[in-house]
Structure 1
Amino acid sequence: MKKSLCLVLSAVMILSAAACGGAKTSGKSSAVQSIVKQAEGMSMEELAKKAIEESNGKMFYGVGNSSRGKSALPLFIKYLQSVNPEYKLDFEWQQPKNNKIFDQLTADSLKSSGTFAMTLIQDGNQIESKMVRTGILDTFIPKEWAEANGLAADAYPAYLPLQTLNKVFMYNCVDKNKVYDNCWDFVAKDEHGLYMDIDSEIVGKNFLYMLTREDYATILKDAFEALSADERAYFMPTVNAMASEAADLGLGENGKYALAWIKLWVESYNAQTDDGPICNILVDSSAVNKFGLLVYSKIRSVKESDAVSKNNIKIAAYQDGYAGMGGYGYCHYLFVTDNSPLPWTACAFIAYMTCTTDGFSAWGKDMGGYSANPVVLAKNEAIYNHKNGGAATKDDPTEYPAKNDRGYEWWTNDGKLVIEDPEYCASVAFTVGSWIETLTKYSSGAK
């Protein structure tokens, strides 16, 4: 269980209790925080009864980065109706675009009783700086989730992750002579990876922040040393030029390797608007020698045709001899708003999503999305068999190795997935973030 906890919580920032919100830091608890404290000692069934009592016949508003909250709510209502057939709940799920969720939650927090009962939200950096430190959002840790992770009440994380998502390096493999066997290959001369722009999807910028943490910088250094002499000679001037920058930014011994990779990446990637189009480009037979860094699950929806196939791509980290990071991972976190109009129902909904396979099912069908509850994680894999998700079937006898998800434990160990740490991102957002802003992005007319 300790091993599972280590793996599951590697994507979660274990913050001190003092960082859990304005009301908590002042030594006072809001009414919602008092309810959350009670709820943390209750079972799913007990929370369901509280939710039914509180919200029967009412309207529930949720807001999130993932549209699938809208898919989970009807299942939650059905569960509550199994407890009380007379229960009714209307709901609306909003998904703000262009990272406006933080503005929306901030504005709603100014009301004595807010509109939104809870949120499913990503971007640990902004959550930490704009939502948690300001006391706008409160963390609720379901009893069953804590038990599954072997956690005592005094060891609860300040954030509750629903899941960890991974974005992985994948490349078109139609040209059998072209291989990417080192993460430095993606920033080599004349390479232009397809990637969502860091100013439109901020978690992509968090990925770059995380590379400067010494453990991930060391992975980059080790991958650099695995390159051929000619390849090292090409990158060495940039690495050496970053030594003084790394010192100025207060980075560790291997910070220069991180800054070199970041500089080369920002100045070479071909910015795209979304991961879906990136996937559609890469799986086409015409996309020879193209690669991208994108959400792994996108390949699940690829439709086979004469020109398009999931076998036109390879997952870089799965290839023998690959060196360096295979991609990065970030979380969807769940919070109760500190002025929630339906805090008991919010807690019950959060517990349902994180502690039951039905509650997680809105996300469970995707490879590359891993429940932060080890019990749900195992049950979900038994249902969807992602580790053999590319196997031949009666309807489609072709094997698709790229779909065989090797799982969370493999990705965070062998796959060297770079995991978002909200506190670290917040700590370097001004220093490293300001330095990144000085870089000149690659510009391409045809995307």
Structure 2
Amino acid sequence: MKRVIASVLAAAMIGVSFTACGSASPRNQAAASSQTNVDKVIAEAEKMTNQELYKKAIEESKGKTMYGIGNSSRGATAGTNFVKMLKTIDSSYDGKVEWSQPKNNSIFTLLTSDIASAQHTYSMTLIQDGNQIQSKMLNTGYLKNFIPKDWLAANGADEKTNGHPFALQSQVKVFAFNNVGGAKFNNCWDFVYKDQHPMFMGVNSEPVGKNFLYMLTDSQYADMMKSAFDSLSADKKAYFQPIVNSMAGEGSKLGLTGDNVKYSLAWIKLWCQQYNKQTDDGPTCTQLVTKSAANQSALLVNSKFRSIEESASSSKKNVTIAVYQDGYHGIGGFSYKHYLQVLKTSPLPWTACAFIAYMTTNKDGYVAWGKDMGSYCSNPSIMQDHSKDGYVNGVNTFAVKNDKPFSWWTSNNGGRLVVEDPAYCAKTSSQMSDWVDSFVSSKG
């Protein structure tokens, strides 16, 4: 009980409303006693099959509650399925998983407080925002990486991409536009052309959006921005060229390298000055599909389109995903990840590792996310196919819902997404953050 109370008090001190779920069960004190022990557990766990891990979890957490915390509420469903699965192995198993989803980007403060406290509550986390994860959690050693053996066996070649830190899934934000008025968005530069005001969540209220802007300065994406610029019509080039030229010296001032970074900086400047700040992607999507939103555009998670209900004033048919068009040039949007990590003070590290393995190797472990389009598991073998979600009675009715595999989204011949890299974001944020904010002005 003291551990739960400590967490609640810590949350109250920072002005966050947080309710502990249930009373605390007895903890494994030895597992919580030191960072060294958690490191040893992870090292052993990475050599074990899922079945071996599940037995360890049952032994460790019988009669206890494992507390997880994450940016996605669907972790609660995964936890329920995990406990059911463990009961099929041992019918007497009576452990629990309690899941919390903090608001307002407070997860980093809550985790830090829990790790620093004398009594520890949380065992694992599902967390986003690569910049803060790297600078506040990984560089400090607060979070520990665990890669399940069964995941590695199926996805060994992908360890570099999704293993460090270990990712549950990728999320995608795409450029989309309302097609009712006949507007054309055939190039990523069209979204920052004169009089354009794409709907987008504020970069300081949803930090992954700011990470997107940081990543644009990486040379591979700067090269994409230059290539897209070169494909513009003469009149649009003439409009953008002075802005690009004005950025010629900014890259070196910001510690950036690459011949084409000035193109990314010009685009970032225009984007920040012109985007229409939104509070959430849900209302943005609801607005974009209406007839009254003719010619408007947005950068939002594509998964939101799945829940739009058809009416006389709103339809999924009213929206086009820009990169789905033949002949589209430039980036199609960006992606960020949800990372699974073990706290260095985890009271139940074996159970945490087993739960992580379950979510990334078992279809029932990932079903909470995978049942809908727009989430892309780091283990494609447990993904559901959403390529024909837009079909009704065999007819391709809502093209915006026909999803693509993540390999397509990140391909230079496909979605050409800007992919979040925690290390790069952390390295560049100190130089770039204030620079971006200078153009965002009152939006942020």
Q: Same fold (TM over 0.5)?
A: yes
Matches of 1:155 and 1:406, distance apart in 2: 19
* Residue identity (%): 52
The amino acid across from 1:430 in the alignment is S
Decide whether the 8 Å contact of 1:284 with 1:307 is kept in 2. yes
Moved more, 342-351 or 29-38: 29-38
Decide whether the 8 Å contact of 1:171 with 1:314 is kept in 2. yes
- What does residue 197 of structure 1 align with? 202
TM-superposed CA distance for 1:189, in Å, is: 0.6
- Once the two structures are superposed, what CA deviation does each residue of 1:286-311 show, in whole Å capped at 9, x if it has no partner? 11111110011000011111111110
1:88 aligns with 2:86: no
Decide whether the 8 Å contact of 1:270 with 1:442 is kept in 2. no
Q: Say what the alpha-carbon RMSD is for the aligned residues.
A: 1.9
Decide whether the 8 Å contact of 1:70 with 1:93 is kept in 2. yes
TM-superposed CA distance for 1:153, in Å, is: 9.7
Correspondent of 1:246 among 251, 259, 263: 251
1:438 aligns with 2:444: no
TM-superposed CA distance for 1:151, in Å, is: 5.5
1:266 aligns with 2:272: yes
- What does residue 224 of structure 2 align with? 219
- What does residue 40 of structure 1 align with? 46
- What does residue 340 of structure 2 align with? 334
| Contiguous gaps of at least 5 residues in structure 1 | 1-27
- What does residue 21 of structure 1 align with? none
Distance 1:107 1:33, change over 3 A: same
- What does residue 3 of structure 2 align with? none
Distance 1:153 1:38, change over 3 A: farther
- What does residue 392 of structure 2 align with? 392
- Once the two structures are superposed, what CA deviation does each residue of 1:308-336 show, in whole Å capped at 9, x if it has no partner? 11101000000111100000000000001
The amino acid across from 1:197 in the alignment is G
Matches of 1:343 and 1:164, distance apart in 2: 24
- What does residue 140 of structure 2 align with? 134
Correspondent of 1:148 among 154, 165, 174: 154
The amino acid across from 1:387 in the alignment is S
TM-superposed CA distance for 1:56, in Å, is: 1.1
Look up the SS of the partner of 1:294 in the other structure. strand
- What does residue 281 of structure 1 align with? 287
- Once the two structures are superposed, what CA deviation does each residue of 1:123-146 show, in whole Å capped at 9, x if it has no partner? 111101000111111011100111
The amino acid across from 2:313 in the alignment is A
Superposition pairs for residues 300-379 of structure 1, below 5 Å? 300-376=306-382
Look up the SS of the partner of 1:336 in the other structure. strand
Look up the SS of the partner of 1:162 in the other structure. strand
The amino acid across from 2:408 in the alignment is W
Please give the TM-score of this superposition, normalised by the length of structure 2: 0.89
- What does residue 84 of structure 2 align with? 78
Matches of 1:360 and 1:348, distance apart in 2: 14
Distance 1:266 1:442, change over 3 A: farther
Look up the SS of the partner of 1:30 in the other structure. helix
- What does residue 170 of structure 1 align with? 176
Number of equivalenced pairs = 408
1:50 aligns with 2:56: yes
Matches of 1:104 and 1:38, distance apart in 2: 28
Correspondent of 1:185 among 190, 196, 213: 190
Matches of 1:29 and 1:74, distance apart in 2: 28
Decide whether the 8 Å contact of 2:331 with 2:416 is kept in 1. yes
Decide whether the 8 Å contact of 1:279 with 1:298 is kept in 2. yes
Look up the SS of the partner of 2:249 in the other structure. helix
Look up the SS of the partner of 2:134 in the other structure. helix
| Contiguous gaps of at least 5 residues in structure 2 | 1-33
Decide whether the 8 Å contact of 1:368 with 1:407 is kept in 2. no
Distance 1:70 1:333, change over 3 A: same
Distance 1:429 1:155, change over 3 A: closer
Task: Name segments (4+ residues, structure 1) moved above 4 Å.
Answer: 151-156
TM-superposed CA distance for 1:111, in Å, is: 2.7
Matches of 2:78 and 2:386, distance apart in 1: 21
1:412 aligns with 2:406: no
